[in-house]
């Protein structure tokens, strides 16, 4: 089976950074309210080049950087986002103080940075594709989802390829069949055609075997969401190509100690 080297695992502009890549999960939720301007700004001040976030659309199709289905957990308002107009959602404040950012505003605020965007529901798909068209951020966004159907729907609407992460179904398939002879080359070709260039998985899935199989298929492996030093060290020892964390200061320290802080 073909063994992909580091350069083969950086096939698109989004991933064209020295490895490992450090991702600020929800902007770096350990230091500032999650998915808030303050969190993203803090991560940028630390030198992060890749910002992870989530997206949901309001009733009138405005795309937010927001994780939950409802406003209830992290804001001072209540209600399901997809059933509320933006004029109501815009009044909500994260932790009672922070405005909910728009995905488009984040992308435009830092034109040199990359964004890992998790499509949380179907209503977000069309608005996300429209944001990509308006911002022309094709090379700066990786589209991810826990739903293979949402990823397929997004792919159909794309005007041009963007980086995508392997769906959970794809991860399961890779785990079951990745060790078969010649499977790596065939899968690498298929995934490249569909824009899939990385597997984003929890640490328990990122075994040495899985990392090898993903690399053989031409995929980077990004591990989430690691907030303890021991887990970060383990992922790096396993050969992970990226780590997502809320603890952005700690991850920078760990990578710096290893001579791997290459985000700038």
CATH topology of domain 7-257: TIM Barrel (3.20.20)
Is the separation of the CB atoms in 215 and 9 below 8 Å?
A: yes
Identify which of 40, 41, 108, 50 has the alpha carbon closest to the alpha carbon of residue 255: 50
Average per-residue pLDDT in the chain? Answer: 91
* Averaged pLDDT for residues 213-218: 88
Q: Where are the alpha helices (DSSP H) in 90-147?
A: 103-109, 125-135
R_g over Cα of the chain: 18
Tell me what percent of the residues of the chain surpass a pLDDT of 90: 80
Task: Please spell the DSSP secondary structure of 37-79, one letter per residue.
Answer: HHHHHHHHHHT--EEEEEEEE-TT-PEEE--SSBSTTTBSS-S
Domain definitions of the chain by residue range: 7-257
Q: What is the per-residue pLDDT for 2?
A: 39
Task: Please spell the DSSP secondary structure of 89-115, one letter per residue.
Answer: HTT-EETTTEEPPBHHHHHHH-TT-EE
- Residue 171 — φ and ψ, nearest 5°? -60, -45
Catalytic residues: 25, 67
Is the separation of the CB atoms in 137 and 110 below 8 Å?
A: no
* Averaged pLDDT for residues 66-73: 98
pLDDT in tens, 224-248: 999 999 999 999 999 999 999 999 9
C-alpha–C-alpha distance, residues 249 and 256, integer Å: 11
- β-strand pairing of 50-57 with 141-144: unpaired
């Amino acid at each position: 089976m073909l063994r992909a080297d580091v350069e083969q695992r950086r096939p698109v502009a989004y991933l064209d950074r020295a490895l490992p890549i450090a991702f600020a999960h929800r902007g770096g939720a350990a230091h500032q309210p999650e998915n808030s301007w303050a969190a993203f700004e803090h991560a940028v001040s630390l030198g992060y080049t890749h910002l992870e976030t989530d997206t949901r659309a309001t009733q009138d199709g405005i795309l937010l950087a927001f994780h939950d289905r409802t406003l209830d957990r992290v804001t001072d308002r209540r209600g399901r986002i997809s059933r509320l107009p933006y004029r109501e959602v815009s009044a909500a404040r994260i932790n009672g103080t922070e405005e909910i950012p728009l995905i488009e505003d984040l992308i435009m605020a830092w034109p040199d940075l990359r964004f890992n965007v998790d499509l949380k529901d179907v209503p977000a798909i069309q608005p996300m594709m429209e944001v990509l068209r308006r911002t022309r951020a094709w090379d700066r966004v990786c589209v991810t989802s826990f739903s293979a159907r949402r990823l397929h729907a997004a792919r159909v609407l794309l005007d041009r390829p963007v980086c995508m992460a392997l769906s959970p179904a794809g991860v399961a398939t890779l785990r079951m069949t990745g060790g078969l002879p010649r499977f790596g080359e065939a899968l690498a070709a298929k995934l490249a055609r569909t824009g899939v260039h990385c597997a984003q998985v929890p640490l328990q899935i990122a075994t040495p075997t899985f990392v090898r199989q993903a690399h053989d298929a031409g995929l980077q492996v990004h591990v989430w969401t690691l907030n303890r030093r021991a887990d970060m060290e383990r992922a790096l020892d396993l050969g992970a190509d990226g780590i997502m964390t809320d603890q952005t200061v700690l991850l920078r320290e760990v990578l710096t100690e290893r001579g791997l802080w290459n985000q700038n």
